[in-house]
Amino acid sequence: MWIADGWKDYEVIDTSNGEKLERWGDYILVRPDPQVIWNTKKTHKGWKNMNGHYHRSKKGGGEWEFFSLPEQWQIHYKSLTFNLKPFSFKHTGLFPEQATNWDWFSEKIKNAGRPIKVLNLFAYTGGATLAAAAAGANVTHVDASKGMVQWAKENAVSSGLADAPIRWLVDDCVKFVEREIRRGNKYDAIIMDPPSYGRGPKGEIWKIEEAIHPLIKLCTQILSDEPLFFLINSYTTGLAPAVLTYMLATELKDFNGTVDSQEIGLPVSSNGLVLPCGASGRWEAR
């Protein structure tokens, strides 16, 4: 398992009965987590002194209950700064477990010894975009949500990367890649963090089990002659690490590289265990 253990401003304090107790900077949140199927004693004081609690509804969805939580605040990871705000479906605008991937590809970019062009698909609020840009890459950031792209731009400003070579695009990721193939544009590295289910800007339906392999296949057509890495993230329980490995190894067999896929996770400070948070597949050049 790859563990995001480099945080100072974030921690999973405890987990029990379908929920996780987290510290985001100065604020304590309780949010549901489908992986937490155990029920242990909630002895940590944070369970009773939280700043925000997302209550899952039995009908689907849910709502926030706030106790002295600002509308927006910031946390830091190394040189990066992220603006957080609680919004629909329990999210805050950041997936902290992804820091283990940021560290991995940042080192690859810094050690490449050449300019690296990165394409970040389903790029959300820009965690991977900013990490790649901070490492020296030229980044194209694509997401179907105008609001998320704007949020990512704000994170870039907060991180001192307002003038970094980042191209911000609101677009359907599959259609963007198809256009890039026609234009003949190439990238040295691709990052994708597709949702389990989603809709494009014109109502296009995305189901990861049906769409992920064709997209990987498409993306191989925009890889440069000497690609550096290819990263896929999955929060869908049906896509085990071995499935990610199989798809990457099959579609990138003509490039000289190796594939490894693992669960990713966050350390739980109260007991030293690790909370699993999905899986990542990594192809990297030899």
Q: Over the stretch 259-281, which tens digit does the pLDDT of each residue have? A: 999 999 999 999 999 999 999 99
- What tens digit of pLDDT does each residue of 49-59 get? 999 999 988 88
Instruction: Check residue 201 and give its pLDDT.
Output: 64
The CATH class of the 2-71 domain is: mainly beta
Question: Model's pTM, two decimal places?
Answer: 0.94
Which CATH fold topology does 96-285 show?
A: Rossmann fold (3.40.50)
Is residue 211 scored above 90 in pLDDT?
Answer: no
State the pLDDT confidence band at 198, using cuts at 50, 70 and 90.
confident
Position 210 scores a pLDDT of 85
Domain boundaries, the chain: 2-71, 96-285
- Looking at this protein, which amino acid is placed at residue 240? A
pLDDT (average), residues 17-46: 96
Residue of 166, 106, 107, 158 lying closest to 142 (CA atoms): 166
Contact 117, 169 (CB under 8 A): no
Looking at residue 207, its pLDDT comes to: 82
The per-residue pLDDT of the chain, averaged, comes to 95
